[in-house]
C-alpha cells in the first residue's frame, strides 16, 4: 500500500512538470514574417473586369429587348405565329402566303366564307405521285394555257355522283343532256362525231358545213332533218345526190319548186320552141336527168329529148 501511494505521487509530479513545460511553450513568441503579399485584383485588371461585366450585362439587355420585339412583331403565341396557326388537324393560314420552295401537302382547303386563290408570276403546277415517287398526274396553270397530264380526266357534278365529262387517249365522252357551242364560228371537228341530236337554239340557224371535204350523216335506223318553224336549205357546189337503196324518196309539200332546170331541145328544128312559153312539163331522161319541155296538147318530151344525149 505504501509503494502504490509513492508511485501515484511520482506520477502526479511528472504530469505537473509536463503541463508546466507545455504552458511555457504556448507563450513563446514566434518569429515574425517581414514580406506581405496582397490577394485580389487591383489597378487596370480590376477596371477591365468591371468593363467586361458591364458589357455582358448590356448585351443581355439588348438581346432580351430584341427577343421581345421579335415576339411582338411576329405575333408569336401559344397557337402559332401571326397568321400561321397550328391546329390538331393541320396548319391554318389567314391572308396571303408566299412559298418560295415546293409545298407538299395532303389537302388544301379554304374557309367556308372565303375563296381559295393560288397565284404565281409564272405558273402554278399541281403534281400527284404514287408511293414510289413517280409522277401520275399533273395540272399546270400557265400564262398561255392550262395543261392536264394524266391517264384519265373526269369532270363530275357538284355532288360528285354524276359523271359529266371524261377523256382519255382513246375517246372523249360527254354525258350531259345538252352541249352548247356559243362561238361565232361554231364547232370544228377533225373526225367523226356521234350524237343522237344536233339542234340549234331558238331563233338561231343551224349550219352543217365541210369546206374542203364531204359531209356524211349516217344512222342505222334513219336520218331525220327537220325545220318545224322555218325553211330547210341543202346546197352544194357540184352534185346533190339523194339515193335510197331499198325504199323510196318522198317529197311531200304543198308546193315543190325545181329551179334552174335546163330546157330541152327539139329534135327537128330549134325554131319550133316558143319564146313566150309560160307552162312547161317536166321530163326525165333514162339516166335520171330532169329537164323542161314546153307544155302542149300532147307530151313534147320525146321531141325535146336531145338534151338526154348530153348527159
DSSP assignments along 265-291, one per residue? B-SS-GGGS-TT---EEEEE-TTS-EE
Distance CA 147, CA 138 (A): 8
DSSP per-residue string spanning 184-212: TT----SS----S---PPTTS------SS
Would you state the cell numbers that stand for residue 79, as one nine-digit string? 397557337
Distance CA 157, CA 306 (A): 67
* pLDDT in the model for residue 265: 67
Do the beta carbons of residue 289 and residue 308 sit within 8 Å? yes
Cα–Cα nearest to 300, from 261, 266, 258, 260: 266
* pLDDT in the model for residue 61: 96
DSSP per-residue string spanning 47-72: HHHHHHHHHHHHHHHHHHHHHHHHHH
* pLDDT in the model for residue 2: 47
* pLDDT in the model for residue 5: 47
* pLDDT in the model for residue 29: 52
Would you state the cell numbers that stand for residue 136, as one nine-digit string? 401520275
Cα–Cα nearest to 143, from 125, 127, 117: 125
* pLDDT in the model for residue 227: 76
pTM summary value: 0.39
- pLDDT lower than 50: segments of the chain: 2-5, 7, 26, 28, 270, 272-274
Amino acid at each position: 500500500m505504501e509503494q502504490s501511494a509513492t508511485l501515484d505521487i511520482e506520477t502526479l509530479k511528472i504530469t505537473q512538470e509536463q503541463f508546466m513545460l507545455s504552458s511555457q511553450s504556448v507563450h513563446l513568441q514566434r518569429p515574425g514574417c517581414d514580406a506581405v503579399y496582397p490577394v485580389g485584383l487591383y489597378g487596370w485588371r480590376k477596371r477591365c473586369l468591371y468593363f467586361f461585366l458591364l458589357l455582358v450585362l448590356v448585351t443581355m439587355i439588348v438581346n432580351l429587348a430584341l427577343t421581345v420585339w421579335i415576339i411582338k412583331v411576329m405575333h408569336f403565341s401559344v397557337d402559332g405565329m401571326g397568321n400561321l396557326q397550328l391546329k390538331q388537324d393541320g396548319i391554318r393560314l389567314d391572308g396571303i402566303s408566299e412559298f418560295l420552295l415546293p409545298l407538299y401537302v395532303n389537302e388544301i382547303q379554304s374557309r367556308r366564307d372565303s375563296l381559295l386563290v393560288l397565284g404565281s408570276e409564272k405558273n402554278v403546277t399541281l403534281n400527284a405521285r404514287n408511293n414510289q415517287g413517280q409522277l401520275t398526274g399533273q395540272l399546270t396553270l400557265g400564262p398561255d394555257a392550262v395543261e392536264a397530264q394524266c391517264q384519265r380526266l373526269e369532270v363530275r357534278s357538284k355532288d360528285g355522283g354524276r359523271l359529266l365529262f371524261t377523256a382519255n387517249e382513246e375517246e372523249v365522252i360527254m354525258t350531259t343532256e345538252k352541249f352548247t357551242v356559243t362561238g361565232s364560228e361554231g364547232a370544228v371537228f377533225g373526225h367523226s362525231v356521234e350524237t343522237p341530236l344536233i339542234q340549234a337554239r331558238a331563233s338561231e340557224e343551224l349550219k352543217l358545213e365541210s369546206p374542203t371535204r364531204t359531209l356524211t350523216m349516217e344512222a342505222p335506223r334513219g336520218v331525220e332533218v327537220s325545220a318545224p318553224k322555218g325553211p330547210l336549205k341543202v346546197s352544194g357546189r357540184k352534185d346533190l345526190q339523194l339515193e335510197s337503196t331499198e325504199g323510196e324518196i318522198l317529197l311531200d309539200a304543198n308546193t315543190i319548186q325545181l329551179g334552174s332546170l335546163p330546157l330541152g331541145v327539139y329534135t327537128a328544128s330549134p325554131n319550133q320552141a316558143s319564146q313566150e312559153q309560160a307552162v312547161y312539163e317536166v321530163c326525165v331522161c333514162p339516166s335520171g336527168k330532169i329537164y323542161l319541155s314546153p307544155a302542149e296538147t300532147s307530151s313534147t318530151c320525146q321531141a325535146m329529148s336531145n338534151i338526154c344525149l348530153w348527159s
